[in-house]
Amino acid sequence: MTDFSTVNFDTSPPAVTLPRGYNAAADLLDRHSRDGNGGKTAVIDDAGRYSYAELAARANRAGNALLALGLMPEQRVALALLDGIDFMAVFLGAIKAGLVPVPLNTLLTPDDYAYMLGDSRARALVVSDVLLDRVAGRVEDLPHLAHVVVSGAGDRGGHPRLSDLTAAAPAELTAAMTTPDDAGFWLYSSGSTGRPKGAIHLHGDLVNTAALYGVGVLGIRPDDVVFSAAKLFFAYGLGNALIFPLYVGATAVLMAGRPTPETVMAVMKAHRPTIFYGVPTLYGAILADDGLDRAAGSDRLRICVSAGEALPAELGRRWRDRFGVDILDGIGSTEMLHIFLSNRPDDVRYGASGRPVPGYEVRLAADDGGAVPDGEVGDLLVSGPTSAPYYWNNREKSLATFQGRWTHTGDKYVRDGEGYYTYAGRSDDMLKVGGIWVSPFEVESALMAHDSVQEAAVVGRADADDLIKPKAYVVLREGLSGDDALADALKRFVKDRLAPYKYPRWIDFAEELPKTATGKIQRFKLRD
Ligand code: 3UK
């Protein structure tokens, strides 16, 4: 039988050439042990340290445990897991077994989970004990979901425990015979209208992002220790802390809790990462505390990365002055898996997203699809080996986004005469808040569910750091008048109904909203 874990390929950009028989998890898990580095630390989480050999054994056990439940190749396994060794083991074990893991954002509501579990027809769900109630509250209504497995030693709600299943499973697993073009995993992405869409990623996508961006731009190497404040369930975090370090045999530090300046700096101090990845809001929050500097964090930092939303130039400069290391801003997307347009360690221009990552091509299109001259705004399209081929079960949105080899980002950009690209806003109404999508429509609907609200419109407004946060314009029902108490009540109302990061930070009470003749809210007028 072919040994699908034995793969030799050229690791220099642009693209990685893979053999026809190829399993991404077998590649990432088994290469280092085979090269005699099985004893090297792969992962450090809140509970301990795990070598490459230990990680491989845990992933094999997790894959075997899922197969023992009766799961068949290509079936989906939803993951609602906090960052830690179980995420790594289940994600990689599932892929090695030919199953398709679907990591879910851990910050969402029961309604969001019911939708994604139903849409993906996940056969199994592996969920952290602390998330069980929120994620698995409605599983009776999901005919395809046959198994709920609980990670952690807390309440298991009558479901089997992951640790019991893996203890009973063998530590050896033969990799499923997949190809680079097989579905490897999915990631859900939200849009301005409609439900989140499952972007399907292929086995070949993982090593390609690692070679092109991880090695090509960051120059990640075996002696790096990486720490991503962005969680593994985001494409950004997944590349940062799972794909890239495992690709080169480096060490990933994982933290289960919420990233705040305090928790992030504490992890930096304890594990002294060489590469740190965050979102602009977090860099801003750390800089807001004058007491936080290099001495309070990692003395080994050599690169910081920012993505998810544009990094204001001022934050980059202040960070470099205080921490003695640049922040590399780059734009990536769930659809492209990771960053395709980026600054470089030796070429940082604060305020710009940099130049295309070698291995990717980008172009700016005018409304008629034609080229846009330098200095003018156009729609950003990208082509490269890591694009999802389509969205699950969604022909219309797939056709709009994935057009031949070109993927539409929905972003507006300007290119200067030297080939550097600067972000110029979205072509839809979507907001990036702390690097995470927020649909204004969803926040408006939540506000409108409140008894006193007649109508609402939500737009992005820049805060003191020049970062976008949601702001609501609210028209109250006849006879009511707004005050601070009602504004606070409305904020709490939204916080209780949606993922907390989505609530409007400001509320303005208005007599009416600007509308077109056909009654459509003119958000652009409110933005001005
Ligand atoms: C926006 C940026 C300006 C932009 C992501 C790194 O953010 C990621 O994926 P998502 O699917 O969102 C994609 C959209 O977010 N964006 C991201 N980075 C920047 N805008 N400057 C930036 N540096 O609208 C883009 O279309 O959540 C980021 C790696 C992997 C990712 N998936």
- Tens digit of pLDDT for each residue in 16-37? 999 999 999 999 999 998 999 9
Question: At CB < 8 A and 24+ separation, what contacts does 148-154 make?
Answer: 148/124, 149/65, 149/69, 149/124, 149/125, 150/126, 151/81, 151/86, 151/90, 151/126, 151/127, 152/86, 152/128, 153/129, 154/129, 154/130
Half-sphere exposure of 435 (CA within 13 A, CB side): 28
Within a domain: 124: yes
Q: How many C-beta neighbours within 10 Å does residue 491 have?
A: 17
Per the CB < 8 A criterion, the answer to whether 429 and 523 are in contact is: yes
pLDDT of residue 13: 54
Which residues are CB-neighbours of 139 under 8 A, at least 6 positions away? 117, 125, 145, 148
Among all chains, which residue has been given the structure tokens 């969920």?
127
The residue whose CB lies within 8 Å of the most ligand 1 atoms, and thus the one to mutate among 339, 432, 438, 467, is 432
Give the pLDDT band (50/70/90) at residue 116.
very high
Within a domain: 56: yes
Give the pLDDT band (50/70/90) at residue 303.
very high
Q: What is the CATH number of the domain that holds 112?
A: 3.40.50.12780
Within a domain: 282: no
Q: What is the CATH number of the domain that holds 470?
A: 3.30.300.30
Q: In the predicted model, what is the mean pLDDT of residues 232-258? A: 98
Last residue of a domain, one of 202, 236, 263: 202
For 422, the token pair is 């600067």
Last residue of a domain, one of 202, 219, 234: 202
Within a domain: 217: no
Please name every residue paired with 226 in a beta bridge, in sequence order, or none if there are none: 252, 275
What is d(CA 280, CA 486) in angstroms, rounded to the nearest whole number? 31
Within a domain: 179: yes
pLDDT of residue 517: 78
pLDDT of residue 8: 41
310 lines ligand 1 (CB under 6 A): yes
Residue nearest to atom 14 of ligand 1 (CA): 333
pLDDT of residue 144: 97
Q: In angstroms, what is the span from residue 495 Cα to ligand 1's centroid?
A: 24
Which residues are CB-neighbours of 423 under 8 A, at least 6 positions away? 310, 331, 353, 411, 412, 413
**Apex CA 122: angle with CA 198 and CA 337, to 5°?**
30
Per the CB < 8 A criterion, the answer to whether 200 and 226 are in contact is: no
Within a domain: 82: yes
Q: What is the pTM of this model?
A: 0.93
196 lines ligand 1 (CB under 6 A): no
Look at residue 89 and tell me whether its pLDDT is greater than 90: yes
333 lines ligand 1 (CB under 6 A): yes
235 lines ligand 1 (CB under 6 A): yes
236 lines ligand 1 (CB under 6 A): yes
Last residue of a domain, one of 180, 202, 224: 202
Give percent above pLDDT 90 in the chain: 91
Please name every residue paired with 227 in a beta bridge, in sequence order, or none if there are none: 253, 276
286 lines ligand 1 (CB under 6 A): no
Phi-psi region at 282: left, alpha or beta (left = phi > 0; alpha = psi -120 to 50): alpha
Within a domain: 63: yes
Q: Which domain holds residue 513?
A: 431-527
Q: In the predicted model, what is the mean pLDDT of residues 102-109? A: 96
CA-based torsion, 233, 234, 237, 243: positive or negative? positive
Within a domain: 475: yes
Please name every residue paired with 506 in a beta bridge, in sequence order, or none if there are none: 471
Q: Give the C-alpha distances (Å, rounded to integers) separating 52 from 38, 222, 258.
A: 5, 12, 26
pLDDT tens track for 61-81: 999 999 999 999 999 999 999
- In total, the chain counts a number of residues equal to 528
CA dihedral 515, 521, 522, 523 (to 10 degrees): 150
Q: How many domains does the chain have?
A: 2
Which atom of ligand 1 lies closest to the CA of 437?
27
Which residues are CB-neighbours of 235 under 8 A, at least 6 positions away? 187, 332, 333, 334, 337, 338
214 lines ligand 1 (CB under 6 A): no
Q: In angstroms, what is the span from residue 34 Cα to ligand 1's centroid?
A: 35
199 lines ligand 1 (CB under 6 A): no
Q: In the predicted model, what is the mean pLDDT of residues 281-289? A: 96
pLDDT of residue 92: 98
